[in-house]
A = this chain, B = another copy of it.
Amino acid sequence: MPISLPPPSEEAEAENTLAAIGEFGLIDRVTAGRVQPATTLLGPGDDAAVVAASDGRVVACTDVLVAGVHFRLDWSAPDQIGRKAAAANLADIAAMGAVPTALLVGLACPADTPVETLAGLADGLWAEAGSVGAGVVGGDVASSPTLVLSVTALGSLDGREAVTRAGARPGDVVALAGRVGWAAAGWAVLARGFRSPVAVVAAHRVPEPPYAAGPQAAKAGATAMIDVSDGLLADLGHVSRASGARIDVRSGALEIPARLRDIGRALGVDPLHWLLTGGEDHALAATFPGSPPEGWTEIGVVTDGEPAVLVDGRPYAGGPAGWDHFVR
């Protein structure tokens, strides 16, 4: 039987907030004992960090996550939110064909945020960064009524050319690495007040981007690549417009997992819709002049014609193709 502790006094609780330990206390707390990778030449604690950029170039991107918009503290544990914020950025680095080296974290949050919540966020950021050999090298924290997490990721192309969105050519094969639709199914489940099936809820909480597939695709000659964060059709739309070519997705090539089929049936949703329009799984989509490398699945072709993304030769009629943060 667990020992029953008295509830903490109000004073003791207040001591566990950011207001009690302060900006510098928090920084000490979340940086102490972390082991930096070799690419971190100077880590947190100074005006700026110094990170190796061995081929004379650095890849960099920023992604912003807002409490209540991208995550909910009642749906996800703090470390899951940290992992998700890191993953969104690390996947963008991978989508250039690069290997992530470092994260910097801009955090705005209320002064009464529990230190445990912030320590959890930091743990998640570190865990996800560590999974690809990157470090958390710097950041800043400021007082705000809303919790906002702005993460910047740096990466290295190791001498390769960056794979942009603009290189898709008619005749190229369109291919996918990683999962699509899982996070969207998880969101649908959570939004209806359920906490299971665990697999899709977990996918919503912490994506599992196929990081290694990015550099792999670059080495295999990918002509264009993108991180699927807004939805497969929306993101292929970015490739289509940037490349000045049309993309035709073959829906039959998108295998619908039995799990998503079951959930779709239970919720009255066509699961294909989740695969085509759901973001946040951070799959990678790329175009190749020939067959894609191992681990990638062919899902369509690049054709001549005005930029557009078609599904089986027709405009997708199932609803909005993806996510815009401001237009509803």
Interface residues of A (CB under 8 A from B): 18-24, 26, 41-42, 45-66, 69-70, 92-93, 95-96, 98, 102, 104-108, 111, 137-146, 148, 150-155, 157, 162, 164-166, 225-227, 242, 324-328
Contact = CB atoms under 8 A, between A and B. Distances in A.
Contact of A56 (B53, B96, B98, B138): B53
Contact of A61 (B49, B157, B166, B326): B49
Contacts of A69: 142-144
**Shortest beta-carbon contacts, A-B, top 6:** A106-B150, A150-B150, A53-B53, A48-B61, A22-B327, A47-B95
A141 B57 contact: no
A64 B62 CA distance: 13
B41 A61 contact: no
A60 B48 contact: yes
Given A18-B326, A19-B326, A50 B59 contact: yes
A138 B107 contact: no
A96 B58 contact: no
Nearest to A55: B56
A21 B242 CA distance: 20
A102 B60 contact: yes
Contacts of A153: 48
Contact of A108 (B61, B64, B226): B64
Given A53-B56, A57-B41, A162-B50, A64 B107 contact: yes
A50 B157 contact: yes
B51 A140 contact: no
A146 B143 contact: no
B148 A144 contact: yes
A112 B183 CA distance: 28
Nearest to A226: B47
Contact of A58 (B50, B107, B164): B50
Contacts of A166: 46
A17 to B, nearest CB: 8
Contacts of A64: 106-108, 140-142, 150
Given A48-B93, A50-B162, 6 more contacts: A47-B225, A54-B56, A66-B142, A108-B150, A146-B146, A148-B150
Given A47-B165, A142-B70, A164-B42, A58 B63 contact: no
Given A23-B324, A47-B95, A95-B47, A58 B53 contact: yes
B98 A48 contact: yes
7 contacts: A23-B324, A23-B325, A41-B162, A46-B96, A50-B96, A52-B56, A56-B56
Contact of A22 (B42, B137, B150, B324): B324
Contacts of A92: 47-48
Contacts of A98: 48
Nearest to A98: B48
A324 to B, nearest CB: 5
Given A60-B102, A70-B142, A139-B62, A48 B96 contact: yes
Contacts of A324: 22-24
